[in-house]
Amino acid sequence: MMRDDMKAILYTKEEVAERVRQMGAQLTADYKGEDPILVGVLRGSFIFMADLVRCIETPLELDFVAASSYGTWAVSTGQVDLRLDLEKDIIGRHVIVVEDILDTGRTLSKLVDELKKRHPASLKLCVLLDKPERRVAQIEADYVGFTVPDEFVVGCGLDFNQKYRQLPYIGILKPSVYE
């Protein structure tokens, strides 16, 4: 049972749904008439992105990038490798990068630098989770679902070795699972 691999549940399915609904309402208000492009960072953001856009009531477009990380979450090389790039130009457009978690910030700061070179009208960062204790790069999110402690979390799109993404809650994985 996957539930047995959890040390604790941080946020239940209902708590996540309510917070995502609030974020959607905020984005609806902030981007009224702006026709933004939401850029999901694959694969971790896919569930958050799907839930979030259904709570946004102003017109928007979706696109995706895939930034490959090397090895596991604990290993950060400071490189970003875009395995999948945007389909459309973002010049002059309002861009919202959607990610599962902002941790050291290395991946997202490189991605944001790359996207800024393409001259969007604006670029904001929206994350389901923020883990500020481990931040290394100078980057903060504009929209944050929940601030989490320095623990390894899974669920709602976040994985451990590609597993646990489907969990409808945010849980802390038992260290015995990955040690």
Catalogue the active-site residues: 103
77 burial level (CB within 10 Å; 0-12, 13-18, 19+): exposed
In the complex, the smallest distance separating the C-beta of residue 174 from Mg ion, rounded to whole angstroms, is 21
Interface positions, 63-92, toward ligand 5GP (CB under 6 A):
69, 73, 76
Residue nearer to ligand 5GP on the CB measure, 28 or 69: 69
Residue nearer to ligand 5GP on the CB measure, 25 or 136: 136
Interface positions, 4-43, toward ligand 5GP (CB under 6 A):
none
Give me the phi and psi of 24, to 5 degrees please.
-60, -40
Report how far residue 121's alpha carbon sits from residue 108's, in angstroms, rounded to the nearest whole number: 19
Q: Is there binding between residue 152 and ligand 5GP (CB under 6 A)?
A: yes
Report how far residue 94's alpha carbon sits from residue 36's, in angstroms, rounded to the nearest whole number: 5
Q: Which of 16, 115, 141, 158 binds ligand 5GP (CB under 6 A)?
A: 158
Q: Is there binding between residue 44 and Mg ion (CB under 5 A)?
A: yes
SS3 112: helix
Angle in degrees, 0-180, between the axes of helices 46-53 and 13-30, rounded to the nearest 10: 60
Q: Which of 10, 23, 108, 111 binds ligand 5GP (CB under 6 A)?
A: 108
Q: Is there binding between residue 104 and ligand 5GP (CB under 6 A)?
A: yes
Q: Which of 129, 151, 133, 154 is nearest to 141 (CA)?
A: 129
Judged by the rule CB under 6 A, the positions of this chain that interact with ligand 5GP are 44, 69, 73, 76, 99-108, 131, 152-154, 158-160
